[in-house]
Amino acid sequence: MATIRHAGRWLHQQRQLLGGDPLAQVKDLQTDAPDWNGLTSRQLRRMKSACEQRIKSGTRKNQNPLIETALLY
């Protein structure tokens, strides 16, 4: 909202609007920090070990396990 408010203030300074600053009374939204929904340390460890196994087992010509691993990191 701060960026939109800044743009409205700039527009009002460049060309005086009949209604005044359009976003003068708009306040920022107050939100709480979200809870962590990511992977646990155990899940991360399993993903890393799966990536290491994939690097070692991807030996075919049309396989590139490093690219697949990079997608997971």
Structural domain spans, the chain = 2-28+40-72
- Residue 8 CB partners (closer than 8 Å, separation 6+): 21, 22, 23
Looking at residues 14-35, what average pLDDT do you find?
83
Pair 7, 13: CB distance under 8 Å? no
More confident residue, 59 or 40: 40
pTM for this structure? Answer: 0.45
The predicted structure's pLDDT at residue 1: 58
Helices (H), the chain: 2-14, 41-57, 65-72
Structure tokens at 56: 């070692």
